[in-house]
Amino acid sequence: MAGEQLDLSSSADDNTQRQDGTSGARPFLGVHFRCCDVYARIYLARDRAAYQGHCPRCSRPLLVKIGPNGSDSRFFEAG
């Protein structure tokens, strides 16, 4: 209708709190899956003890445990 506008922009802030108390940003690791030569993200598990995911092509699972002497790197290669 004349004079009406539809605003499709989003002003959501990645630092906002969700209903479950976690922040809006979802922690992830970037992984190059050599098995299929593809890149994908794997996300932090609910228990926050590991990052888990799978190759998007062949579904090969990947679990990266979080330890006290871990790495600051955010990108990895998986066999």
pLDDT of residue 46: 93
Q: What is the pTM of this model?
A: 0.66
Helices (H) and strands (E) in the chain, counts: 0, 5
pLDDT band at 11 (very low <50, low <70, confident <90, very high): low
pLDDT band at 36 (very low <50, low <70, confident <90, very high): very high
